Amino acid sequence: MRIEANYAKAAKFIQDAASQGAQLAVLPEYHLTNWVPEDPQFSDLCGQWETYLTKYRDLAKEHNICIVPGTIVERHEDVETKEWKLVNVAYFIDNQGEVLGRYQKKNLWHPERPHLTSSTNDPHEMIQTPLGPIGLLICWDLAFPEAFRELITGGAKMIIIPTFCTPYCHSLILLPTSYLLITTILAPHALTVITQGTLTDSSPYGLSLNPRSEALFLSSILTARAFENTCAVVFVNAGGPSHNSNSSSNSNSNYAGLSRVAVPFLGALGDETKDSSAEGMSIVDVDMRLVEEAEANYRVREDLKREDWWYGYRRGRGNGCGKL
């Protein structure tokens, strides 16, 4: 939980990306503190969240780059119980250092539920940014297509998902990172991806059938979400060393990595990280005209806007189903 060292590493990646013309830098979930909620220091470190949010705002303004600083776990006092609660939050910071949007993780992974507070029924909201309309999700949210649907019907055309997938996170001390940075020029976007995550979140049964079942899950679902929502999906996951520190192979890594930008027609972009679990950074040129061409072809958004669209849950119709 070397929070300052982790910040310094992230800042160096972002500075490097900005010097190469990237317009958006995205970091992984839990990149500052790791996920060690049982550690007695964890809650106190989460109490420093404002300090590091300010640091990222200053960094964005200094280097003229938009930043999604992964997630920052925040400690707040509950107004009713007066007890501390922890929330896992992603921010969009523009290139002037202004916070344009905030999203609190809704769909908590099972081990997180005793420790984190979900955003429950708060709506998923599109954020207008210098790079166009975007949406923020976090990690396990990607398993729920309803979250994507709510964001794209609100106008989002790029969905950014900081992620940290690992059962080993309770024993890790210094969180290695992999980054995705996006260089964006209005229609074509260039992104920087900084990655981290593991391939062992599948059950023992699933792993016995396919040791890379988690990689299959991630690569399949991310491409599917891009196609079925005619959007770009920016997925930034943890990356780091293998179990065998002397091994140069990624196949035995503690982390999933696989950070990428998924887009319709092409699938996964991000050559440095999309097939790797190692720490690293990809700078990705994303031409958002792909999104418009995909919509012209598949007309997903057009159908979702129809008043006579037959999926009743979308518009609060039928058998008590509410709006998304």
Across 228-241, average pLDDT: 90
Between 98-102, 158-162, 201-205, the lowest mean confidence (pLDDT) is in: 201-205
Give me the sheet containing 232-236, strands edge to edge.
127-129, 132-136, 158-162, 232-236, 260-263, 267-269
Cα dist. 223→73, 158, 217, 229, 320 in Å? 28, 13, 10, 10, 32
The identity of residue 256, as a single letter, is A
What pLDDT shows up at residue 166?
A: 56
Tell whether the model's pLDDT for residue 190 goes beyond 90: no
Is 79 or 67 the better-scoring residue by pLDDT?
A: 67
* pLDDT digits 0-9 by tens, 252-267: 456 778 899 999 999 9
Across 37-43, average pLDDT: 93
d(CA 35, CA 45): 11
d(CA 227, CA 306): 19
Q: What share of the chain is helix, strand, coil (3-state, %, to 5)?
A: 30, 25, 45
What are the structure tokens assigned to 77, written together? Answer: 């006092």
At 309, the pLDDT band (50, 70, 90 cuts) reads confident
| 260-263 and 24-26 strand pairing | unpaired
Tell whether the model's pLDDT for residue 161 goes beyond 90: yes
Bridge partners of 189, per DSSP, are 286
CB 105 within 8 A of CB 119: yes
What pLDDT shows up at residue 318?
A: 40
What pLDDT shows up at residue 280?
A: 84
* pLDDT digits 0-9 by tens, 162-177: 999 753 333 233 344 5
* pLDDT digits 0-9 by tens, 246-303: 444 444 456 778 899 999 999 999 988 888 888 888 899 999 999 999 999 999 999 9
pTM, to two decimals: 0.87
The identity of residue 279, as a single letter, is E
